[in-house]
Amino acid sequence: MKKNLFIFSLLYLFVLSAFAQEEPSKEVKRDPIHFEKAMSGTFNGQKIDYNAVVSETFLRNKKGEVTAGMWSTAYIRTGTDSSKRPVTFIFNGGPGSASVWLHMGFFGPKVVKTDSDAKIDDGAAPYTFVDNPQALLDMTDLVFIDPIGTGFSQVEGVGKNEDFWSLNGDASSIVQFMRIWVTQHGRWQAPKFIAGESFGTTRAAKIAEVLEGGGQTMAINGIILISQALDYAGSSSWEDNITSFFTYLPSMAATAWYHKKAGAGKTLGEFVQEARDFAYGDYLTALYKGEKQSEGEKSSIADKLAYFTGLDKKFILRSDNQILMHRFKKELLREEGQAIGTLDGRYYATETDKAAEGPVLGDPSSYMTGAAYTATWNDYLTRELGVMMDRPYYTSAVGMGGNWNWKPVPDGAYLEPSYVSTARSLSEAMHRNTAMKVMVANGYYDLITPFFDAEYTFARHNFPQERIEMKYYEAGHMMYNHQEDFDALAKDIRNFITQMIQ
């Protein structure tokens, strides 16, 4: 009996061992994928030779195990000493967006062109794709980063999406990439800049903080925030969020002025300043007094809101003098049966349901431009850069939205519910790094990250005001879709970077 039991035990251990051996190894046994092509172009009047490098960088955990492959597209000038040549790291937002928008829309050596006046849909292929002589390659190398889950970037080896799909995990992964890139290319002595858009500005502020730790401190010379979103209380148009009713009002006024629904006889600047003054004065008081106001006081505020927004006073009173953005986008042109854009209030489109509370087709400033960006990027990637992959390039991450962890503190740390904010992180980083400057690019018709919120944010958190540059453009979130603003933004960024590299 004992003999049989011993034999059975041996067989049992053998079976367990066999199953253990059959478990697939998560070790990554290949080299990172790399594509490189020599190119040339004329930028700011200078003939520049450069390499276009589309490549994968392995990220690793503390054990040295591969956790992800982060992809980037870099344009690196050749024929010069690069050790002190400036480099700019660029990413978009979302979270869950690849870098294709800033790449194809503004910073790249070639860019897509949609209707500058925001009136004509991008339609179907072919699209307009042109050389960009205003690209910054004469003064800085460019590195476009696709966060994990976007573009070709994905988890590898022992990595899991939840390691990267969070405010902290996302920032840590990009910081690791930046340090690897700077080390591989010998750029520790080079001036370094970051350019982010939308959530990419939230990320940039957090990155500035994270770069100061981890045993490899890296100071940033300058940060370019395009359509900033550092404190989400001012860019979340939700019920009971008093801050948002205050911060969105000047953008509503600007958009109403654009569509000739308000501000007749006033310049945009004059009308916006009136809206600022009202928001900081009587409107803010009314929002906080709430039901302590008399009916006469409520009526007076509604009159002013009708003046600034072009909306019907009765509708405003039914809204309790608190106009949610999704309602404004539908209500402004309701009589015409149209809804306006979120990313850019200049855009408008005819709605299929004209009685709905908010837009039903989505954001016209997105669907009237998005196909052009996607098509030109994929064509450029394969035909001009020679990149051939066996999987698609995701301009937007699949499945990330509902799985994103917004907590600004480590897992397990106590946190009361609050709006996401990395404003204090950036302010503190600027106080520790007294050479860092920040440029903030704002679109007057941006109805998702309002320009007044940028002013309100940077007026607080103890930001060093002398190192903040606020710039304004007569377009929206992606102000570079408007040619005049494309030109102005290019000039402003050139001037901003020049201050720090001369």
pLDDT in tens, 116-158: 999 999 999 999 999 999 999 999 999 999 999 999 999 999 9
**99 — pLDDT class (breaks 50, 70, 90):** very high
- For 139, half-sphere exposure in the C-beta direction (CA atoms, 13 angstrom radius) is 21
Residue 343's alpha-carbon distances to 29, 282, 447, 475, in angstroms, are: 43, 28, 6, 9
Q: What is the pLDDT of residue 19?
A: 43
Query: Tell me: the pLDDT tens digits for 66-82?
Result: 999 999 999 999 999 99
pLDDT of residue 7: 44
Between CA 114 and CA 120 the distance in angstroms is 8
Answer whether 53's CB lies under 8 Å from 35's CB: yes
Parallel, antiparallel or unpaired: strands 141-146 and 154-155: unpaired
As a whole number of angstroms, the distance between CA 223 and CA 88 comes to 9
Q: What is the pLDDT of residue 457?
A: 98
For 26-51, what is the mean pLDDT? 96
| Chain CA centroid to CA 226, Å | 8
pLDDT at 369 over 60: yes
Binned at pLDDT 50, 70 and 90, residue 269 comes out as very high
Residue 104 has pLDDT above 70, yes or no: yes
pLDDT at site 414? 82
DSSP secondary structure letters along 317-349: HHTTT---HHHHHHHTTGGGTEEE-SS-TT-EE
SS3 (DSSP) at 93: coil
Looking at residue 12, its pLDDT comes to 45
Please identify which residue in the block is written with the tokens 């600027």. Answer: 430
Query: What is the predicted pLDDT for the residue at 17?
Result: 46
Query: What's the mean pLDDT in 400-428?
Result: 88
Helices 268-278 & 295-309 angle (0-180, nearest 10): 160
Is 25's pLDDT higher than 80? no
- If you average pLDDT over residues 219-241, what whole number do you get? 97
Average pLDDT, whole number, for the chain? 94
The pLDDT > 90 percentage for the chain reads: 89
**Cα–Cα–Cα angle for 212, 140, 197, nearest 5°?**
65
Judge whether residue 18 has pLDDT over 50: no
**pLDDT number for residue 8:** 44
| Interval 371-395 mean pLDDT | 97
User: For the chain, how are helix, strand and coil distributed in percent, rounded to 5?
Assistant: 40, 20, 40
Q: What is the mean pLDDT of residues 443-460?
A: 98
Residue 24, pLDDT above cutoff 90 = no
What is the average pLDDT across 160-177? Answer: 97
Q: Does pLDDT of 20 surpass 80? A: no
Return the higher-pLDDT residue of 483 and 20: 483
pLDDT of 13 higher than 60:
no
Q: Which of 9-23, 147-161, 270-284, 335-349 has the lowest mean pLDDT?
A: 9-23
Q: Which residues contact 375 (CB under 8 A, 6 or more apart)?
A: 125, 127
Domains along the chain with CATH numbers: 34-233+370-501 (3.40.50.1820), 236-362 (no CATH)
CA separation for the pair 172, 165 (Å, rounded): 11
pLDDT above 70: residue 337: yes
In which residue are the tokens 């370019």 written? 224
Predicted confidence band of residue 15 (pLDDT cuts 50, 70, 90): very low
Q: Residue 175 pLDDT more than 50?
A: yes
